[in-house]
Amino acid sequence: MRNKYVAEHVMKRDDMFYYVRHIPIDLTEHYRVKRLCFSLKTKSLGYATRIAKSVSQRLEDYWFGIRFKRMDVPAINAVRMEDSILDSSPTILDALDLYLRLKGQGKDKVFFRTATRNIEYVTKVLGNKSIKSYSSSDGAKFRDWLIEQGMGINTVKRVFSSVRSIVNIIISEEGLDCSNGFAGTYFPDIERINERKPIPVELIKKVQRKCKKQDDDLRWLVALLSDSGMRLGEAVGLLKSDIKLDAEIPHISLKPHQWRTLKTKGSERSIPLVGASLWACKRILYSNNSPFAFPRYTNTSNCNANSASASLNKWLKDQLTDDYVIHSFRHSLRDRLRAVECPSDIVDSIGGWITAGVGQGYGKGYPLNVLNKWMLKI
């Protein structure tokens, strides 16, 4: 098969991706070859591209260090070495590479995607710095940013747990004499700081009217969530073929995909389409030629629900107040079903909530027409 460059410094050969880059002319004396070429050990373009960016950054830093040593810098002896650009200690991206290499054996795509995404958050907010330079104040700044994106405090804690593990492993493996800047961060009370309150029906109707007026893919997503009770990740990862408008009862057949898993076994379900959710799905199906319902956020290798969350929460804040986030629609659906005296097990079936009791593990659940009867009442 002919070699083909598919991204910057990324070449595809026999379904495998390689990193390829010529050595700068002024640095060839430091190498025995004129070109670097090595396997990235993946068949995923998205993952290969991320690895290549990390490798390129490390090479640029290394090459800059070589060039810097050649420079005649005035008063170089007065520079504090721990603060200087000559600091060669590993960065947070180095930590990620090490973590994936040591811990990634036999793990699925979700493991790699989650770890990479969480470190991307860190570099976006704090930069790709030396592990030694991250402080407890950086940890606090990172926590505040995550909360500002509309994440629940439990989600924030999971992100921190991942980042701490990634930093801990490089501190241990490299024998670094430093503390973990992401350890010991205080997390405020979820009930006071980021309670996901249900949205009153009159405000839901207000938001739905604005969605229909603005009529674009982000507003379709909001409208879909508003009358379906779906989790954001469930909706963002949909294929158009999951939307069954031609069925006797229009509905979504929610199932896991390789780019988006589901939270629990009970999350795999059929959801009747009513109101604004039905309108949104009609708009989605005839919007473009993509097989994905929301190609802005989803492709065959990734479902970026967190990016969608940041955009939607910002828009929702402008329409309502700081009291509500996009996940509030899900809480509202439960309350709206309760208000029409819908049985609790049917509520759980519609929302994909876990229902206690041994008996719930038997049978196929409620037929679609029963679920639809209650959804039409909200």
Domain-embedded: residue 3: no
Do 316 and 254 lie in a common domain? yes
Domain-embedded: residue 52: no
Domain closes at, from 172, 195, 218: 195
Q: How far apart are CA 126 and CA 91, in angstroms?
A: 12
Tell me the pairing of strands 298-299 and 269-272. Answer: unpaired
What is the pLDDT, as a whole number, of residue 154?
83
Do 335 and 231 lie in a common domain? yes
Domain that holds residue 184: 87-195
Do 227 and 306 lie in a common domain? yes
Domain-embedded: residue 205: yes
The pLDDT tens digits for 40-71 are 877 778 777 888 888 888 888 888 877 776 66
Domain-embedded: residue 14: no
Domain closes at, from 161, 195, 229: 195
Residue matched to tokens 């030629």: 289
Q: Which amino acid is at 185?
A: T
Do 328 and 228 lie in a common domain? yes
Domain closes at, from 195, 216, 237: 195
Long-range own/partner contacts, residues 249-258 (CB < 8 A, 24 or more apart): 249/368, 249/369, 249/372, 250/278, 250/281, 251/368, 251/372, 252/228, 252/281, 254/230, 254/352, 257/303, 258/109, 258/300
What is the pLDDT, as a whole number, of residue 174?
87
DSSP labels, 34-99: SEEEEE---S-HHHHHHHHHHHHHHHHHHHHHHHHHHS--TTGGGS-GGGSTT--S-BHHHHHHHH
Domain-embedded: residue 8: no
Residue 216: give its domain's CATH number.
Answer: 1.10.443.10
Domain-embedded: residue 57: no
Domain count, the chain: 2
Do 247 and 296 lie in a common domain? yes
Do 267 and 323 lie in a common domain? yes
Residue 129: give its domain's CATH number.
Answer: 1.10.150.130
Do 217 and 189 lie in a common domain? no
In tens digits, the chain (378 residues) has pLDDT values of 456 677 788 888 888 888 889 888 888 888 888 888 888 877 778 777 888 888 888 888 888 877 776 666 555 555 454 444 445 678 999 999 999 989 988 888 888 888 999 999 999 899 888 999 999 999 999 998 888 776 778 889 999 999 999 999 999 998 888 999 999 899 876 544 445 678 999 999 999 999 999 999 999 999 999 999 999 999 999 999 999 999 999 999 999 998 888 887 888 999 999 999 999 999 999 888 899 999 999 998 888 888 888 889 889 988 987 678 898 999 999 999 999 999 999 999 999 986 544 445 445 678 999 999 999 998
Do 147 and 189 lie in a common domain? yes
Do 205 and 320 lie in a common domain? yes
What is the pLDDT, as a whole number, of residue 27?
84
The pLDDT tens digits for 111-160 are 888 899 999 999 989 988 899 999 999 999 999 888 877 677 888 999 99
Where b means 16+ CB within 10 Å and e means fewer, 3-27 reads eeeeeebbbbeeeebbbbbebeeee
Do 353 and 205 lie in a common domain? yes
Do 138 and 167 lie in a common domain? yes
